[in-house]
Structure 1
Amino acid sequence: MLKLYTRLLQTKAQAKIKCMPVRNVQVSVIGAAGELGSNVSLLLKQNHKIKRLQLYDDDEKVIGAAIELNHLPGGAIVSGFAGDDLNEAIRSSQLILMVHRIPRKPGKKREAMIAANAPSLHKLCRAMADENPDAFLAIASNPINSMVPFASSILYKYGIYNPFKVFGITQIDINRTRACTAKALKVSSNNLFVPVIGGHSDETIIPLFSYMTPVEYTVDPCQADSLTHLVRKIGTEIVFRKQGTEAAVAAVAWSINEFCDSLIDAINGNEVDATCYIANPYFGTRFFAGHSTIGPYGVIRPFRKIPLNDYETFLVNRSVPIINSDVSLGEDHVKILIPKL
């Protein structure tokens, strides 16, 4: 009986090993020494699909962060890089994640945020041109509406731009909408999903409550308007509650990790659906966020127009000029930062 029980345990263990996905993806996190970067790195360390985790920052304390993460049992092998080692940090990575950001301050204008965060993103794009032009690039640096077009323009000028492999991470908008809507309806957010389209700013986030699932959950027009304003302003409220010292960190890190997990599945050969801000010409602007299908070579099907109710149509029509303006701000900054490129 004991032998039979032992054999049964061995069989279950072997079956579990066979079901475990192979660790075969290398991910680079740029800006890993910051509060957001360190939280994202901790979450990615636990991802069983990642073989190597490369952490980079201008601040040399990232080396200590990498050593600390390697003291955790299991998970990816973590390496730390600083200063002039950016090329080495992104070498051979299939996914490069840009999380470096200057903390958001109350009342800070888009132009100031672009000027603060663009140099680091430019440095990364230049390193990608030299070292790793084929990687997926996922950007979490604000303002995303402008930084994704900025990076795209830089990569184009360096001759390596692939519009199917550059992503703005807007997963936090999905999670905030789910949480706020679930609270309003007094249901579990685990059992609720609301698509979010548009951009990633107070004026361009558009929850589509008409497509909320399960279909038995509904909100009236007044609730839809109130929840839309809540989701759009909640990031600003967090900045004020933190007394202007830092924007949202924990929830954003969690959301970035979720999105990266989807990209890793795509890199591994699967078709996945994920919400992101990408090159998208179907809404009257060259970049737009929505539910898109991604595969091993990048975006397969970007989000396209679907029937919307009057309120959602109004929000889209009002957001498109703002997104176009944000795109222009990002692209124009290329000329300011590197006029001779």
Structure 2
Amino acid sequence: MVKAVVLGAAGGIGQPLSLLLKANPLVTELGLYDIVNTPGVAADLSHISTPAKVEGYLPANDGLQKALTGASIVVIPAGVPRKPGINAGIVKDLATGIAKYAPEAFVLVISNPVNSTVPIVAEVFKKHNKYNPKRLFGVTTLDVTRASTFVAEILGDLSLSKEVVVPVVGGHSGVTIVPLLSQSSHPLPSGFAKESYEALVNRIQFGGDEVVKAKDGAGSATLSMAYAGAEFASKVLRAVKGEKGIIAPSYVSAEADTTGSAALAKELGKELSFFSSNVELGTEGVTKIIPLGKLTEAETALVKAALPELSTNIDKGVNFVSEAYKPQL
């Protein structure tokens, strides 16, 4: 039995994400939670002819506790687009609920800024003595999805987009997003111009802005993010069921695999408590953090540019929680 829970299920990402999880044959129960509209979303989804039983909860009557009880996997898309301060508070409160009611669940954080919200969840779990770094993931899959799609476009064959695999490392915003295009399963055309390469990197890093602009201020990347979140959730569920050899980039704690993260720190020339790189998934969550491998000069420069920003983002998340837990005078 697999109970998947979506926190923020009535939002722009939450609804299509809940739909995709309802359609996933590995999910037998779906718990939906949000501050408004969740019973309606649950009723709508419950009419879909797939096995997952759906329940929707609101904050009243211990809704968060009911949604989380028995959860195998919790996905958090809750929050307000491009409002980091508000999202930090929302994620802290939801993490407190998970620590209390579903401490063994695999937790997938989508709420931005992921570079800071994942450390927030980790710190809250530590405060409750429930922290298992192997079970906490920042979902960076949208960067990977974009990279695959854009490379397939350049190769002139969108049918390749499901096959193209481009590792994307670092973090999940702007310059912290580092596509390792030299390691793409489908190499870029020979003689691909430097300007074209730079434009492609920029498009992968700032793809979210492209969507915001196209939606004319009426929203952000919700549908593609829901797809990416459901894809990553599916990989975690398959690994937990015992499927071997599943590798995907995710923003995880260095503590999830100290040997792998020590090798990564050596490559980076710096120790970071969180970083996104390829991780091997297993029944316990993260089984292995995989080092970056051979990089081009351009990629090395991108990684170097990402580190200071990442470091600041992580500190922001950690400091937010320590401030929140300070005794009130």
Aligned to 1:49: 26
- Tell me, yes or no, if the aligned pair for 1:290 and 1:302 is still in contact at 8 Å: yes
CA contact (8 A) 1:125 1:151 kept: yes
Greater C-alpha radius of gyration: 1
> Which of 276, 279, 283 pairs up with 2:253?
279
Which residues in structure 2 correspond to 1:97-108 (within 5 Å)? Answer: 97-104=75-82
CA–CA separation in structure 1 for the residues paired with 2:134 and 2:15: 28
Relative to structure 1, the CA distance from residue 25 to residue 266 in structure 2 (aligned partners, 3 Å threshold; closer, same or farther) is same
How many residues are aligned here?
309
The residue number in structure 2 matching 1:254 is 227
2:276 is equivalent to residue 289 of structure 1: yes
Q: State the shift of 1:120 in Å.
A: 2.1
Measure the CA separation in 1 of the matches of 2:54 and 2:327: 37
Correspondence 1:178-257 to 2 at 5 A: 178-188=148-158, 189-215=161-187, 218=190, 219-257=192-230
Q: Name the structure 2 match of 1:40.
A: 17
Aligned-CA RMSD value = 1.7
- Partner Cα separation in structure 1 for residue 249 and residue 326 of structure 2: 33
- Of residues 318-327 and 229-238 in structure 1, the stretch that sits farther from structure 2 once superposed is 229-238
User: Displacement of 1:220 after TM fit?
Assistant: 4.7
Distance 1:227 1:168 in 2: 23
Deviation at 1:68, TM superposition (A): 1.2
What code does the residue aligned with 1:326 have? N
CA contact (8 A) 2:12 2:223 kept: no
CA distance in 2, matches of 1:65, 1:190: 29
Q: Which residue of 1 aligns with 2:317?
A: 330
1:176 alignment partner, one of 116, 122, 146? 146
Q: Is the 8 A contact 2:77 2:110 kept in 1?
A: yes
Task: Please name the residue that 2:257 is paired with.
Answer: none
Decide which of 48, 56, 65 is 1:87's aligned counterpart.
65
Shift of 1:234: 1.7
In the TM superposition, residue 125 of structure 1 has moved relative to its aligned partner by: 1.7
Mapped to 2, the partners of 1:270 and 1:217 lie a distance apart of: 34
Q: Sequence identity of aligned pairs in percent? A: 30
Q: Retained in 2: the 8 A contact 1:114–1:330?
A: no
Q: Tell me, yes or no, if the aligned pair for 1:94 and 1:267 is still in contact at 8 Å.
A: no
Aligned-pair CA distance for 1:115 = 1.7
TM-score, with length taken from structure 1: 0.86
CA contact (8 A) 2:122 2:133 kept: yes
Match of 1:8 in 2: none
1:318 and 2:305 correspond: yes
* Aligned match of 1:27: 4
Contact 2:166 2:181 in 1 (8 A): yes
Instruction: Tell me how far apart the structure 2 counterparts of residues 126 and 161 of structure 1 sit (CA, whole Å).
Output: 11
Paired with 2:89 and 2:51, the residues of 1 have a C-alpha distance of 32
Distance 2:188 2:94 in 1: 46
Partner of 1:166: 136
User: Which residue does the alignment assign to 2:242?
Assistant: 269
State whether residues 192 and 213 of structure 1, in contact with CA within 8 Å, keep that contact through their aligned partners in structure 2: yes
- Unaligned stretches of 5+ residues in structure 1: 1-23, 105-112
Checking the alignment, whether the CA contact within 8 Å between 1:34 and 1:100 is kept in structure 2 is yes
SS at the partner of 1:164? helix
CA distance in 1, matches of 2:163, 2:107: 31
Q: Which moved more, 1:270-279 or 1:26-35?
A: 270-279
Using the alignment, how far apart are the partners of 1:266 and 1:196 within structure 2? 20
Contact (CA 8 Å) 1:167, 1:277: kept in 2 or not? yes
| Matched ranges for 1:118-197 at <5 A | 118-188=88-158, 189-197=161-169
- When structure 1 is superposed on structure 2, of 123-132 and 165-174 the one drifting more is 123-132
SS at match of 1:172: helix
Find the counterpart in structure 1 of residue 258 from structure 2.
Answer: none
> Of the candidates 55, 74, 94, which is equivalent to residue 96 of structure 1?
74
Q: 5+ residue gaps in structure 2?
A: 255-260
State the TM-score, normalized to the length of structure 2: 0.89
**Deviations, residues 172-205 of structure 1 (Å, cap 9, x unaligned):** 0011111112212212323422111111111111
CA distance in 2, matches of 1:267, 1:340: 39
CA distance in 2, matches of 1:337, 1:242: 35
Contact 1:289 1:303 in 2 (8 A): no
- Cα distance between partner residues in 1 of 2:163 and 2:189: 10
Residue aligned with 2:173, SS: coil
1:116 alignment partner, one of 61, 75, 86: 86
